[in-house]
Amino acid sequence: MVKQTIQIFARVKPAKRSTAVYSVDHDEHGSSSVEFLVPRDLADGFINNKKESYRFRFQKVFDQGAKQEDIFENIAKPVADSVLAGYNGTIFAYGQTGSGKTFTITGGPERYSDRGIIPRTLSYLYQHFSKDSSKVYTAYISYLEIYNDCGYDLLDPRHEAARLEDLPKVTIMEDPEQNIHLKNLSIQQSASEEEALNLLFLGDTNRMIAETPMNQASTRSHCIFTVHLSSREPGSATVCRSKLHLVDLAGSERVSKTGVGGQLLTEAKYINLSLHYLEQVIIALSEKNRSHIPYRNSMMTSVLRDSLGGNCMTTMIATLSVDKRNIDESISTCRFAQRVALIKNEALLNEELDPALMILRLKKEIQSLREELAMVTGEQRTDQLTEDDFHMLQEKVALFLQDSDPEAALDLGPDLRKIQHCFRLLKGMVTEQQCNQGRGDEHPSSLHQADQKDQDCPTPMEMKRLRELLQQRDNEITILVNMLKREKKRAQDAVSQLEFNSECYQRESQSFSEYSLQKGFSQPDADTKSVGKGGKPTNETLLTESESLYVNVVLREVEMSLGRKEAFEIFRRDHEDRINIEDNKALLKQRFAEAKALGEQVNKARGRVNELKAQLEQRRTRRAAHGVTGGTADPAETDPVEEQLRAQIEEEKKNYKATFGRLKALKTEIEHLQLLLERAKVKLQKDFEEWWSEEAYRLQVSGWYKKEALNPHHQASGDDFIMSQTVKMVSEYLCMWVVTYCIGNAGCVIRRRMQCAVQSLTPGYTESSIPLTGDQQTDADILAFVRARQNLLQRTGSSHQ
């Protein structure tokens, strides 16, 4: 058992504005402290008015310049090591909103170097798994979000289709030993770093998708990313199980400071309540002689029960913002950390005997003892083996070769005939493999076969792994092909939808004019029929209005669909993340080129090794032949040429290994960049959808407004009404186009342009009342369009009279 207090660290977020006066000191024992100096006039609220200096001690304080790598090396790596050794570990980030919790735990969305604790820890764990061949490791992952004290599974694939509230809630169950179990939380196996990162990406994307302006889940929810690890030595029945929780808590600011109401206030209360319960648990734990710890008050404290005062090595990172206006919250965060530092945890090595493995082992032992006995007592059989026996033995040998367990045995019973047959089978396989290797030597790409013939020919375990890798790649290809097919279909659908919409538009315009002719709007007495006394519309007028509204809606949909694609292009161009996306794309391209160059280097090194090996082989054969034909050279004597060739081979091998290592690291970076780009794409799409529906709504409202304003035309002439409404609609449609095409070049915010367009269509506007963008070219375009529109209106008006 390891007794340890919770380790506390602080990280200061780089400040953009003027900062408060603070300093960070490191002492000779390796710990450090942060001191805030608060001038009297700034000290308000809960801060003691008389005190001006606040000093807090931490294991280490990371000032503004600290890199993500430093944070991982100093904070996360020791915890990951203890998790690998079989202890539970937790790292949680605590601090006010925007102080850098997510940046520290998950990382920034822009650069590869901004990867946070989770991706770096995953990388570290999987590297360890591949290096340590003394144990068999298995990793599972879960990702829980706690929002308004309800739990949600971030790895639930239904996230994309459903709202957060509609998803099944994760609930807490307790067994008689008071162990916590989470119902509805999936735990997914992850065989590689790539799979684990994909799960992290899936969870983060789900979290982002569930966000709405009213539900900024990332700020208001707690997230717990957990790696469930189990390890055992091959053949051993003792399993070591440990858990690593990486926790991003919700913002810790006080409700009064957030200045929110309604739904946000409810959320803020929940957050504060759960953080308040966390504080209560921490106070209770730091008090001596407290028997009851109120873990059950909130879901978060229940889930983290082991991490707080239990069987866990826990580390807290206090994230601090040193902007002047945030200083009180930073002091409050530090105070909280000081209390946390008093909590003692007792971490146990989580070893247990797996009963199933134990039974299996004992069964095997009994069986082999029986076989031994049969051999000793001479119970041998002499009749011939049947075809079925041969078949069964072949299968057994195949299974035996595939088994990754080095202690696996061929279970043949006390039957010499079977044992001998299996030996024959194995001999046949080895001979065949040697023949293949001989052939493979001639091929430059068979480095491993040729190069490591005598040292490291692939073991059955490696073969199995390669086979699985192949299978996985096949699956990935299938998924990608399906995705491509889907995308292609979607593109085709979009084109046919576009064609359909323009047809619709033409048809509707046509039917609209036919309809208006039928309804007699072009006849001079039409208005007397449709308008009742006092100018009030009769039922017939109302019917006409609802019909025209229908046409109006169709036209709007048409114009939206037609403009959507172009609008998306412009939206994308103007989006705040564009520069990052472009940078990442460029970086990805560069990395691909680097990877290609490294791949070529690897291949060259491989080729050179094979060439040198062939020379070595030739040299040996020549020397041997020379010895046989009675030459003078002594075969036992060392040959300097051979020595040199060997040295060159070693050198090339080193070169090959180093380049291959670099290529592998580059692959991880490329995969990460691809994930960053994918996430940026999802965000862009989501932002666009929001903006687009806002604009659609705005246009709808403006349509209603104009229809109301056009009501006097109903009374004057139905024909005028139809004409002017059609003109308005068509011009609005044109406006959308002009706005998206012409003005787009100016690079101004598209929202503003749409507002200009909508405002220019409202009755009673003048040229001078049109809001302009400030860009000369753009403003000239807007004014030219508005004038053209006025001319069109006047011309259609006069030709009508």
Ligand X SMILES: Nc1ncnc2c1ncn2[C@@H]1O[C@H](COP(=O)(O)OP(=O)(O)OP(=O)(O)O)[C@@H](O)[C@H]1O
**95 or 203, CB closer to ligand X?**
95
The distance of closest approach from Cβ of residue 58 to ligand X in the complex, given in angstroms and rounded to an integer, is 16
Of 151, 158, 127, 126, the C-alpha closest to 141 is 126
- Contact between 683 and ligand X by CB under 6 A: the answer reads no
115 bridge partner residues: 107
**How does DSSP classify residue 112?**
G
Sole binder of ligand X in the list 34, 43, 90, 100 (CB under 6 A): 100
The distance of closest approach from Cβ of residue 98 to ligand X in the complex, given in angstroms and rounded to an integer, is 5
Sole binder of ligand X in the list 5, 31, 52, 98 (CB under 6 A): 98
* Cα atoms in the 13 Å half-sphere on the side-chain side of 717: 11
**219 or 242, CB closer to ligand X?**
219
**95 or 718, CB closer to ligand X?**
95
Distance (Å, whole) CA 709 – CA 690: 29
Compute CA 438 distance to the chain's CA centroid, rounded to the nearest angstrom: 46
Can you spell out the DSSP letters for 553-588? HHHHHHHHHHHHHHHHHHHHHH-TTHHHHHHHHHHH
In angstroms, the Cα distances linking 239 to 110, 179, 348, 724 are 40, 19, 14, 81
Scanning residues 338 to 377, which ones bind ligand X (CB under 6 A)? Answer: none
Q: Do 122 and 77 contact (CB within 8 A), yes or no?
A: no
**218 or 726, CB closer to ligand X?**
218
180 bridge partner residues: 174
**89 or 251, CB closer to ligand X?**
251
The distance of closest approach from Cβ of residue 16 to ligand X in the complex, given in angstroms and rounded to an integer, is 9
- Contact between 221 and ligand X by CB under 6 A: the answer reads no
Site size toward ligand X (CB under 6 A) is 15
- Contact between 168 and ligand X by CB under 6 A: the answer reads no
Of 305, 274, 349, 292, the C-alpha closest to 178 is 305
**203 or 563, CB closer to ligand X?**
203
Q: Where are the alpha helices (DSSP H) in 287-326?
A: 299-303
The distance of closest approach from Cβ of residue 66 to ligand X in the complex, given in angstroms and rounded to an integer, is 7
**256 or 801, CB closer to ligand X?**
256
Distance (Å, whole) CA 243 – CA 305: 13
Sole binder of ligand X in the list 13, 232, 243, 613 (CB under 6 A): 13
The distance of closest approach from Cβ of residue 748 to ligand X in the complex, given in angstroms and rounded to an integer, is 24
Is 149 exposed, middle or buried (CB count within 10 Å of its CB: 0-12, 13-18, 19+)? middle
Q: Tell me how many helices (H) and strands (E) the chain has.
A: 23, 17
- Contact between 103 and ligand X by CB under 6 A: the answer reads yes
Residues 6+ apart with CB under 8 A from 257: 329
Of 696, 707, 724, 689, the C-alpha closest to 801 is 724
The distance of closest approach from Cβ of residue 319 to ligand X in the complex, given in angstroms and rounded to an integer, is 6
**675 or 729, CB closer to ligand X?**
675
The distance of closest approach from Cβ of residue 85 to ligand X in the complex, given in angstroms and rounded to an integer, is 30
**319 or 610, CB closer to ligand X?**
319
The contact mask relative to ligand X for 36-75 (x = CB under 6 A, - = no) is: ----------------------------------------
Distance (Å, whole) CA 26 – CA 718: 84
Distance (Å, whole) CA 317 – CA 62: 10
- Contact between 102 and ligand X by CB under 6 A: the answer reads yes
**88 or 97, CB closer to ligand X?**
97
- Contact between 251 and ligand X by CB under 6 A: the answer reads yes
The distance of closest approach from Cβ of residue 102 to ligand X in the complex, given in angstroms and rounded to an integer, is 3
Among 97-105, 167-175, 524-532, 595-603, which window interacts with ligand X (CB under 6 A)?
97-105
**117 or 196, CB closer to ligand X?**
117
Sole binder of ligand X in the list 86, 95, 309, 563 (CB under 6 A): 95
Give the three-class secondary structure for 60.
Answer: strand
Binding-site members for ATP are 95-102
Scanning residues 105 to 124, which ones bind ligand X (CB under 6 A)? Answer: 108
Give the residue at shortest CB distance from ligand X.
100
The distance of closest approach from Cβ of residue 70 to ligand X in the complex, given in angstroms and rounded to an integer, is 11
Sole binder of ligand X in the list 7, 59, 90, 99 (CB under 6 A): 99
- Contact between 672 and ligand X by CB under 6 A: the answer reads no
Kind and range of the H or E run holding 648: helix 640-709
- Specify the long-range contacts of residues 576-583, CB closer than 8 Å, at least 24 apart: 577/680, 577/683, 577/684, 580/109, 580/110, 580/680, 581/677, 581/680, 581/681, 581/684, 583/110
Binding-site members are 95-102
Among 102-110, 345-353, 476-484, 514-522, which window interacts with ligand X (CB under 6 A)?
102-110
Distance (Å, whole) CA 26 – CA 9: 13
Distance (Å, whole) CA 702 – CA 759: 9
Among 96-104, 169-177, 230-238, 760-768, which window interacts with ligand X (CB under 6 A)?
96-104
The distance of closest approach from Cβ of residue 251 to ligand X in the complex, given in angstroms and rounded to an integer, is 4
**320 or 341, CB closer to ligand X?**
320
The distance of closest approach from Cβ of residue 137 to ligand X in the complex, given in angstroms and rounded to an integer, is 31
The distance of closest approach from Cβ of residue 644 to ligand X in the complex, given in angstroms and rounded to an integer, is 53
Q: Do 527 and 470 contact (CB within 8 A), yes or no?
A: no
- Contact between 97 and ligand X by CB under 6 A: the answer reads yes
Distance (Å, whole) CA 205 – CA 223: 13
Among 91-99, 467-475, 544-552, 613-621, which window interacts with ligand X (CB under 6 A)?
91-99
* Cα atoms in the 13 Å half-sphere on the side-chain side of 72: 20
Scanning residues 284 to 343, which ones bind ligand X (CB under 6 A)? Answer: 319
Return residues touching ligand X (CB under 6 A).
13-14, 95, 97-103, 108, 218-219, 251, 319
